[in-house]
């Protein structure tokens, strides 16, 4: 079992208080912050996420029937219920659990009912993969409780299928793979088409901080879906299966695309190149280069992909004005969420708190430092 997470809320009921018996297994999974490689995963591209200290914990006990009773400390006070094999969407956070049981059934992994208690310190709607942390934590607990023959990649893929097919969020596989496979000191260099990955240690002399803009986002929303549709349409018009199939030398082809598809494709193509360059910079310890790549990635998300917001841009600009910051960029799907900062070692906390305070003063938004630094 993974390490315990801190209680999400003080005084929340225990598993035994909720269900009248103890839990049998417990598992947890982290959220993630993406250093670079945004909106590339559903295009078959490259990403570079890290796990964050905040985690989601699932406590579970099998039942002798097909009922599932589930409760979360973070979103509700009542126990939700459904029957395995009779899942129906439209029930809020419970859809993630229903999506998991349905995905397991479709994949040929039968299971009975169970009682489930969830709590999380991964903030919701902040671009830090709270839904993936939930999916992976629950799947890990189910794997142990029902002796399911699932490897790590299968767990990530099942989590993605639950979110795509049942919840209706057209996300790529980065979040689930990162929650399952990443750690806090080594970035996960992931090829999302072939599911090949390499762990790349963070260079000495840097720290990572995350600042929440206070503006929540939702991957099932129309803007995120529209960007994915635009990418798929651009690839189709260019005659390629995915934008991943194009490289920097193919940028001339984008002149054949209408607006804004040309800019959407340019972001994906150049972002994949930036991920490769960022990995090389990390391996060489070139912190200035790594920071510049992060800044260029944000500019591309803002101008070519148009998923940033004025408030996010303000956090980025404030961070970039700090002498101890190598780079800063929007992290996550956009339309709100968080900004990731790369700072000199020993300065992440002070810089992030100063930037967040200035942001709050200028906007009135509840900007907060979520990950002051990695341990």
DSSP labels for 46-95?
Answer: EE-EEEEEEEEEEEEEE-SSSEEEEEETTT-SS-EEEETT---S-STTHH
The pLDDT of residue 247 is above 90: yes
Q: What is the pLDDT of residue 221?
A: 59
Residue 228 resides in a domain: yes
Residues 172 and 234 in one domain: no
Q: What is the CATH number of the domain that holds 88?
A: 3.30.230.10
Residues 354 and 238 in one domain: yes
Q: Per-residue confidence at 74, pLDDT binned at 50, 70, 90?
A: confident
In this structure, the chain runs to a length of: 375
Residue 262 resides in a domain: yes
The pLDDT of residue 270 is above 50: yes
Burial of 71 (0-12, 13-18, 19+ CB in 10 A): buried
Catalytic: which of 41, 175, 212, 262? 175
pTM of the model as a whole = 0.92
The domain total for the chain is 2
Q: What is the pLDDT of residue 2?
A: 33
Strands, sheet with 25-34, edge to edge from the N-terminal-most edge strand: 25-34, 49-62, 114-120, 67-72, 80-83
Residue 7 resides in a domain: no
CA 178 to chain centre: 8
In whole angstroms, what is the distance from residue 204 CA to residue 201 CA? 9
Which of 217, 191, 190 has the alpha carbon at shortest distance from 308?
217
**Averaged pLDDT score across all residues of the chain:** 93
The pLDDT of residue 3 is above 60: no
The dihedral through the CA atoms of 183, 188, 193, 194 has a sign that is: negative
Q: What is the pLDDT of residues 302-340, one digit of tens each?
A: 999 999 999 999 999 999 999 999 999 999 999 999 999
Residue 196 resides in a domain: no
Q: Per-residue confidence at 5, pLDDT binned at 50, 70, 90?
A: very low
Residue 9 resides in a domain: no
Residues 89 and 171 in one domain: yes
In whole angstroms, what is the distance from residue 128 CA to residue 48 CA? 13
Q: Which range has the worst mean pLDDT, 90-104, 141-155, 214-228, 239-253?
A: 214-228
Which residue range is the domain that position 252 belongs to?
Answer: 203-371
The pLDDT of residue 1 is above 50: no
Residues 140 and 243 in one domain: no
Q: Is 264 left (phi over 0), alpha (psi -120 to 50) or beta?
A: alpha
Residues 307 and 266 in one domain: yes
Q: What is the pLDDT of residue 284?
A: 97
Interacting residues of 371 by C-beta distance below 8 A, sequence separation 6+: 33, 52, 53, 54, 208, 209, 210
CB atoms within 10 A of CB 153: 15
Residues 130 and 211 in one domain: no
In whole angstroms, what is the distance from residue 235 CA to residue 247 CA? 12
The pLDDT of residue 372 is above 90: no
Q: What is the pLDDT of residue 105?
A: 96
Residues 334 and 278 in one domain: yes
Residue 66 known to be catalytic: no
Q: What is the pLDDT of residue 4?
A: 33
The pLDDT of residue 252 is above 60: yes
Which of 125, 121, 126, 129 has the alpha carbon at shortest distance from 32?
129
Residues 21 and 124 in one domain: yes
Residues 153 and 210 in one domain: no
Arithmetic mean of pLDDT, 161-174: 94
Q: What is the CATH number of the domain that holds 242?
A: 3.30.70.890
Residues 126 and 228 in one domain: no
Which of 273, 298, 327 has the alpha carbon at shortest distance from 46?
273
């Amino acid at each position: 079992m993974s390490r315990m997470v801190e209680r999400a809320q003080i005084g929340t009921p225990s598993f035994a208080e909720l269900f009248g018996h103890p839990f049998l297994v417990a598992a947890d999974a982290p959220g993630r912050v993406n250093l670079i490689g945004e909106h590339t995963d559903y295009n078959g591209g490259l990403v570079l996420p890290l796990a964050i200290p905040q985690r989601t914990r699932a406590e579970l006990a099998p039942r002798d029937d097909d009922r599932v009773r589930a409760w979360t400390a973070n979103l509700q006070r009542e126990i939700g219920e459904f029957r395995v094999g009779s899942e129906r969407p439209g029930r809020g956070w419970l859809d993630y659990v229903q999506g998991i049981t349905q995905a397991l059934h479709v994949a040929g992994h039968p299971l009975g009912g169970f009682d489930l208690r969830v709590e999380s310190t991964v903030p919701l709607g902040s671009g830090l993969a709270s839904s993936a942390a939930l999916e992976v934590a629950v799947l890990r607990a189910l794997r142990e409780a029902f002796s399911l023959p699932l490897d790590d990649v299968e767990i990530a893929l099942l989590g993605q299928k639950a979110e795509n097919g049942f919840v209706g969020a057209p996300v790529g596989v980065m979040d689930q793979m990162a929650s399952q496979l990443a750690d806090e000191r080594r970035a996960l260099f992931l090829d999302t088409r072939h599911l090949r990955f390499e762990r790349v240690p963070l260079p000495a002399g840097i720290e990572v901080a995350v600042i929440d803009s206070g503006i929540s986002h939702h991957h099932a929303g129309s803007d995120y879906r529209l960007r994915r549709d635009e990418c798929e349409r651009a690839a189709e018009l260019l005659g390629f299966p995915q934008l991943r199939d194009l490289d920097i030398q193919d940028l001339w082809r984008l002149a054949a695309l209408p607006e804004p598809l040309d800019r959407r494709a340019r972001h994906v193509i150049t972002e994949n190149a930036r991920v490769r360059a960022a990995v090389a910079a990390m391996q060489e310890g070139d912190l200035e280069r790594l920071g510049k790549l992060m800044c260029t990635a944000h500019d591309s998300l803002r101008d070519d992909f148009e998923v940033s917001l004025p408030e996010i841009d303000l956090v980025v600009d404030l961070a970039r004005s700090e002498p101890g910051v190598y780079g800063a960029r929007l992290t996550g799907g956009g339309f709100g969420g968080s900004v990731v900062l790369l700072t000199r070692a020993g300065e992440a906390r002070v810089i992030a708190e100063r930037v967040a305070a200035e942001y709050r003063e200028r906007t009135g938004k509840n900007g907060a430092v979520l990950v002051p630094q990695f341990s």
